[in-house]
Structure 1
Amino acid sequence: MSENDVKDLSDLKDLTEGAELAEGGEEITPAAPTMPLRDKEVDQYGRAYATGRRKDAVARVWLKPGTGKITVNGRDQEVYFARPTLRLVINQPFQVTDREGQYDIVATVKGGGLSGQAGAVKHGISQALARFEPALRSAVKAEGFLTRDSRVVERKKFGRAKARRSFQFSKR
């Protein structure tokens, strides 16, 4: 056995104590990662595209710099999502990143109900924001907006009234 054989971690410590520095006498330090780690992803028109999903709804979202106008299926957000809570859901990614009124959104949504569609548009906006400004990804991810909410309606089973509810019991 030579003196450089390593059997456990204590042998490794003994080897590094007498280690010499790099040529020139300075220590070698690993390079720090550059920021941002991801590149800006835009199409030829300067828009960021993303797909958002929630329940059975699928939203295709295009984000571009603008005045804050949100269009869903060719209609304004106030017309398409009449309930204020649904509009609040859609605007959450902008509030978290302090980008309210800075981007225009064009979205097309299919499937599901209005609540699922609002969640899908929010997911798509969050993904598109992270692609347009990669520095915002950590703020949006910390709020959980980039994670697809996988909860869906449970299917109806045979011999049952609904997914779990039994038919009404009749003794006679």
Structure 2
Amino acid sequence: MADTKTLEDLKDLAPAGQAAASESTLPEPKIDELGRAYATGRRKNAIARVWIKRGSGKITVNGREFENYFGRPVLRMLINQPFGAAARNDQYDVFCTVVGGGLSGQAGAVRHGISRALINFEPELRKVLKAGGFLTRDSRAVERKKYGKAKARRSFQFSKR
């Protein structure tokens, strides 16, 4: 049993490229020439295009202040959740355009877009936002109506006579 190697001895045999890849390196921030990070968020039938940049916490949705666009406090709270989880309240300005769906779906799409844009701006926030569930696209949508049914699953009222 001469020349038995341990795992420590074999680790040195790995090519130089693999050794560097095994270390956890964060991706580069994706910021455009105007200092903004872009991402797309989706929820139900709504699609939000979101740009964030360093600022004072101003959020603009379709050219309007988000307090005016989303009247319900629950929707406004939903949009601010990613900033609270990442401890970045009032540090970024958000500009977004939203199309499709209703207000609830649009608020969810903006939240999803803000979360993804934050990761493009600061890749180290991915772990925090992923743990909070902000990066998962909520795929629930309205079920389609089927032929021969009153709604998606409801049958027409049965009449014996």
Q: Provide the TM-score with structure 1 as the length reference.
A: 0.82
- Structure 1 residue 144, shift from structure 2 partner: 1.1
| In the alignment, structure 1 residue 121 sits paired with structure 2 residue 138 | no
The percentage of counterpart residues that share the same residue type is: 64
| In the alignment, structure 1 residue 139 sits paired with structure 2 residue 128 | yes
Alpha-carbon spacing, 1:113–1:21, altered in 2? closer, same or farther (3 Å)? closer
| In the alignment, structure 1 residue 16 sits paired with structure 2 residue 5 | yes
Question: Following the alignment from structure 1 to structure 2, what is the Cα–Cα distance between the partners of residues 164 and 53?
Answer: 26
After the TM superposition, list the runs of 4 or more consecutive aligned residues in structure 1 that deviate by more than 4 angstroms: 19-22, 27-32
| Correspondence 1:152-163 to 2 at 5 A | 152-163=141-152
1:15-45 superposed Cα distances (whole Å, 9 cap, x missing partner): 425x9969xxxx949567254x211001110
When the two chains are superposed, the root-mean-square deviation of aligned CA atoms in Å is 2.6
Q: Provide the TM-score with structure 2 as the length reference.
A: 0.88
- Structure 1 residue 92, shift from structure 2 partner: 0.3
Aligned mate of 2:66, from 67, 77, 80: 77
- Structure 1 residue 170, shift from structure 2 partner: 1.6
Alpha-carbon spacing, 1:45–1:165, altered in 2? closer, same or farther (3 Å)? same
Question: Following the alignment from structure 2 to structure 1, what is the Cα–Cα distance between the partners of residues 79 and 50?
Answer: 12
| In the alignment, structure 1 residue 33 sits paired with structure 2 residue 3 | no
- Structure 1 residue 68, shift from structure 2 partner: 0.2
Aligned to 2:47: 58
* Partner AA of 1:50 in structure 2: A
Q: Which has the higher helix share?
A: 2
1:71-119 superposed Cα distances (whole Å, 9 cap, x missing partner): 0000001100000000000000000011000000001000001000000
Question: Following the alignment from structure 2 to structure 1, what is the Cα–Cα distance between the partners of residues 43 and 113?
Answer: 10
Instruction: Give unpaired runs (5+ residues) of structure 2.
Output: none
1:45-72 superposed Cα distances (whole Å, 9 cap, x missing partner): 0000000000000000000000000000
